[in-house]
Structure 1
Amino acid sequence: MSSRNAFLLKKAQRLTRSARALLYWEQYSPVYALAAFLIALFMIGSFSGLWQLIGDPWRLIVLIAAVVILGRSIWRARKLRRPDISAARRRVEEDSNVRHRPLDTLYDRPALSEEGWPEHYRKAEDVVDRLKRPRLRPALGKVDKYFLRFATPAALVLALMVGAGDSFERLRHSLTPGWVNGSLGDDITFEAWIDPPEYTGRPPVYFKKSNQLEAPQGSELVARIIGTKNPTRLKLRSENGTKHISLKRIGPDSFEVRAIIDQSSTASWRIGEVRKNWAIDAIVDQPPTVAFVRDPEADKRDRLAFAYSLEDDYGVETLTLRMTLLQDDETAPIQTRDVNVSISGNAKRIAESNAALDLTKHEWAAKKVSAILIAKDGLGQMAESEITYFRVPDKIFVEPLAKAIIENRSLVIAGNEDYAPIPQLSRKEMRNRPWFDTWQPEFRLDRAPAPIQRASLLIDAITDQPASMYDDAAVYMGLRNVASRIRYARSAEELDGIPDDLWNIAIRAEFGLLGTALEEMQAAEAALREGIARHASQREIDTLFDRYNEAVARYREELLRQAIEDGNVAENGGGGEGPSINTDQIQELLDAIEEANRIGDSEGARRALAQLAELLENMQIQLSQGGGGSGDMPMDGEMSEEMKDALEELADLLGEQRELRDQTREAERAERNGEQSGQSQGSGETSDQAAGEEPGAPNGGEDGAMSAEELAELQSRLLDLLEQADDVMAGLEEGESGSGGDEVGEDGAGIDPEISLEDARRAMAEAEEALRNGDLGLADEEQLAAIQALREAGRGLAEQARRDLEGSEAGREGLGDQSDPLGRNNNGGENNDDSELDIDGRDSAERSRELQEEIRRRAAEQERAQEELEYLERLLRRF
């Protein structure tokens, strides 16, 4: 096939298609003309808004008529014969005035002989090359005598122009089934407002005087139309295009629309000629910012304290401290832990605030970490602070048993791996197993990680001899319970609660019932604080507050009981009604917390909680220093210098006697264990930890236990010091005898210091004699008697000092109450019996513990010079 032939075939096909289309139009347009006119009329009414004005029945009449006529036209068109290819070719040939059907020749083939066919085909090609496009012949003139075929399209275009932007929405609305009521729009009212996202905390904003508002991104537009039964949908136009929002009927003639505004948009309603537009400028929510203002460090309560600043458009929802463990092995996998930081109510938007996290129970306690703060706003946007480095605070335990428990807890935490697979025993091994073996170590402990197995052995070791090592049965029973659970555990999941239990047992071993009460109170405080922060239900808050109130009451009772036992507070001295330990301020703060929570003042509740925690802490310090509580005034401001010197000298003597008793007990243990005088510390850490020493006792002494003779010399020296102190106190009593310094309380509760000192002198002498005879057990008993006698002497001197102050304080009762911010009186009000000075050595022990904690903390800083580290190690040996 030549290129000319291919061109002519394409031309023939094109002309044929055009002719066939004209034939279709000429044949079917008269049939569908009336239906098309009615459809166009309906669309004109829709686009122009006519049907919204006049409503039904006119809209319905035109719509039904258009549908009926369209159906009739379709029925008539089915009876007509469709134009075929042959008719289209004849139409082309007829309009081009050619004969002999050249178009058919292009597609024909010779039937008998090919002689003469090429010439015939060439002539046909020449004719086809001269063919013209077929012409349109009038078809509607017979049925459209009024030229509506020209007026109707013009009217349709005009209607589109009138309803520009809403034309197709009006058409959709016009096609809605049901009765459409006409409305001129005079009785239609519009209202709209913006509901900002809940996390912004902003109230709804109404379109009142202005139709343009600014709204946070993600706000919800609520628009209502009242006074029409068939409104169109709301049109929402933005940079991304236009969309129509469906309606929700809220009344017989009222509708509501809700749409989320993600970007600046314009909402509009158009009912007939009535228009309503609202412009919303969407404000983009910027990410938050967060930074450390003060680097994290341990505070006096072993909490991780730091200051931070944060800023966000609408408020930071969560603040997280993300810690990363610093490891020497660079190839080790990165380990991170997140700790939630509670945010106070007014610290969410722009603020600098302080935080204190109790991480002493954290698995990374005492380890170096890097950390960042991560702030997250309500939209989910996050920001990170700069990296800081610190050591996670840990609690320093001095009591050897408590230290042993904490070390076992560390082993349990370190062994957080999966247990080994259960071994498959053969039938012979199963038959040889004991019948009633409930332990089954091969299925339990033998499968545990090595740290878990070591912890089990150590706990068994320190609970081997409970009679001689445990003053508190609860500590022993708790350890045995933990040992049993470790022994019978089959998987790591069964050990989940053991670290917390070991921590509580260690607190009990270190601080006794007071430590347990403090832990319970702090846990209840944390639960209450967390419930307030997350806006828990009132019922839950009430329950948490009741638990906290009970925990505070238990802590106060235990603190008072401990103070009385230690001699810091007279149980019923001076004829008083008993001690009053800041009761009024505590109850006022508890009432303030309850009231703030009742009225929804979460920030006020947080402040009251913080004040109460500080007050309770000050109360503990005050009692440990011999303070009496509410209304008490420190005696240092009124006590004579001679009395203070005497008390300090007696306190020092008491501390030295306690230290000597500890050394005696150490020598007794060494003798009992078969050790020789001068050997180094005992056979291992476990034995020291199991010794059950009192708080403040030395940890075995790296220089070895002293001999009985050396201890006797030290006891003799203390006896000489007591004689000197006795002379000083005798002179002091003579100088103050006129003020009633030797009086005894009317109820017999007074203590005579002279009798107590004589008892102490006698006990020291007997202890010295026992030491020289090598009877360490008897010496220990006599030294304990001396300590108790010195304590009684100190209490007697404290009572004498209090009675001396009563006269001077009585003259200042008219000065009125003057309270510090926490409600403690700073005036000269009368002290109660709780104000006795503590000279039983508790202050010395407390100072010793604080000093030891500081030395340990400094010794853990490896960046210090080697000489300084060695010096710190030598200091630690002194403890």
Structure 2
Amino acid sequence: MANYSKHDARRGLKALRWPLTFTRAGMFAEAFWQATWPLATVVLAALAVLMLGLQDTVMVELVWFAAVVATGAAIGALVYALRTFRIPTRAAALVRLDETLPGRPIQALLDEQAVGDGDAASTAVWRAHQARMAERAARAQPVPADLRIARRDPYALRYVAVLIFAVALIFGSIWRVGSVADMTPGGADGLATGPVWEGWAESPRYTGRPTIYLNDIPEGTLEVPVGSLITLRLYGEVGALTIAETVSGRIGEVPPASAPEQDFTVNQSGEIAINGPGGRTWTVAVLADTAPTIEVLDGPETTALGEMTLPYAASDDYGVEAGEARFALDLPEVDRRHGLAIAPEARPEITASLPMPFTGDRTEFEEALVEDFSEHPWANLPVTVVMTALDAAEQQSETEPFQMILPGRRFFDPLAASIIEQRRDLLWSKDNSTRVAQILRAVAHRPDDVFRREVDQLRLRRVITKLETFASYGLTDEQQEDISRDMWDLALGIEEGDLADALERLRRARERLEQAMRDGASPEEIEELMRELRRATDDYMQQLSRQAELDRQNNEENPRNQQSENQMQMTQDDIQRMMDRIQELMEQGRMAEAEQALRELQEMLENMQVTQGQGGEGQSPGEQAMEGLAETLREQQGLSDQAFRDLQEQFNPNAQAGESQGNEGRDGGQGRGQEHSQGGQGQGQQGDTEQGGEGNEQADGEAQGEGALADRQQALRDELRRQQGSLPGSGTPEGEAARDALDRAGRAMDGAEEALRQRDFADAIDNQSQAMEALREGMRALGEAMQQEQQDAQQGQGTSESDRRAEARDPLGREPGSNGSVGTEEGLLQGEDVYRRARDLLDEIRRRSGEGERPDVELDYLKRLLDRF
């Protein structure tokens, strides 16, 4: 480093040759762009205007003015470029490159020692400094050019010019630039020697196809949609070019073939010919626009409130624009009896616009017409519906008449239904007014037996008075409409009554629960609102049950109105399962899904049809559930007995079916008791068994082949699952305990079914025992829940002496006497079934024997009881 010389410094600068060259080239591009961007902007804008052919659509004077302006702007931009542009020097490039390096090493290499030139030590230091600077300079990289000119072009005119030029490249033509030469003073002479033409084929807007510039289309086949507009422009000497076409089908007054401007519409396939110098001929193939198609997909679906949903499908090659449905009375299909026997008054067709998709493609879609015609005079009468579809070309098609019953609201209350029937007769013809008044008087003859509210009686009396008064002078259309409105409101009030209140409570409960979920309420508040929703749902279901009964009666009288096999019905079990699912979603924090399920439940409740359970009349839901669980327990006991018999016969193959020792049914006999027979039906009388030993064995073998017991176990599990959905006492500790017990019973039944399919009868019997134990526990918890509900129903009453005595009873139902002794054994069985009471006692003994905190003396006593029984 001490021997570093000037020669070494020059050699270090030569190492910067390529970084310096690239830096200088970048500076050249930077200076050139900064000087020429105005000129490039003007040139690109002028070319874009010429390529788009704007000069052909305006006056020549305006074209000349624009040309002068563009030329002046181009000259100004060129002068600006010549004055601004400077070729960058090598020194400037060195300075820019040096500015990117720390310590300015290039400048240091160019410097010379000014002080201490004769001092050896000073010279050595200077050379060491230059050596370090040379090392830094060797690491130099080319400096990129800075092409940003935002400060010079604050309005971004260069981008505007580039955008217009890009549009011209896509939609314009480079050949249009030459048309400006025709506007020069010598251009007319050029046209005289060579006429030119231009043409466009513009497709209808609804097709979405672009406009075709015919000058760019060679001779051959030209495909355009029907209705396309052809525009041709001829320039030069008149008559040098002529046009011949057979696509428009024009007749009458037609412009001459040599007219400079010609427009016509393509209506058919044919030819378009431009005859003359530079002319062309095209064979036009018309792309036909087919008419739309529409069809009714299925019969209407009707809600309980009379809203109709009629599905349909429509399609068109370019999209359906609109549609409508027209309903007309199908008079031949009307049952012409009673008030409908006379000729009806003429009424216009019902016209309803068909809904179209808001977004998406309309070329093929399925939609549904949703309307409510409950108040129309034709409601619940035969009609024919014709649907019509219209496309953008105003082509129209319609369906064949579709026969249906015009859906309307169904009234289940007998009084409301009779008023609606007379309203229909009144709207059928004004001549029925006297008859309608007489029938309504007969309906209201004994008001105490008919009306639930006095206000309904007064409203009906007012309707009868108005009808009789107006009928005596001749009923007008306005009076007919006014009375029919009063009759509708009266029937609606009678029909809804308490049902409307129950529905409103249900809606309020749902809205409160949704709001709580959106506001992030606490789990306790959501649980309380969920219990309120369950109570409101129960009230609403009770109101609907009466209507369901009337609906079944109506179906029995009119078989045509019966539900189809595919129509969905909802039972109380379905509703309970949905509500349990909603509560489960809320507990998991999936509030959005729970809110959606809640809305679906509300819609189904408003539109549902109730199916009655199979419980006995006059029984509460708890009693029905208890009876169903008791039946399930008996059937499970029967299956367990059957599995035990098969287990014995599995290890004793020489025994006849049902004759294993100790294998007697509950009704006696050789294994053919009521719990052993297929389906649980008793066949266990000893006389029958003695007469048909072999026959019964054979029947069992055929009926209970492989998997028969497992199938019965699966069916019993399904029945238990259904009973769980309608279990009362939801939200109470007792009710939840009953549900938990039934869940355990269901899992045990699943295990028993799997074991039976594998012919593992021992494991199956164990699982069946667990299922029966869980069923008994669930029945006990359900009984406690029912008892708690009865106590809650007695508002304002304290715990009576009898209740306190009941709580003090022992498991056998005996009340304690004085000094802890048993007082009496009266009412030991408490009027219940002996076998059921015995099972309950055994369950209670088992429960107490499992409580280790009890005294040893009591536990020994309970153990002896279990060993004995």
TM norm structure 2: 0.32
TM norm structure 1: 0.32
Answer 1 or 2: higher relative contact order, Cα 8 Å, separation at least 6. Answer: 1
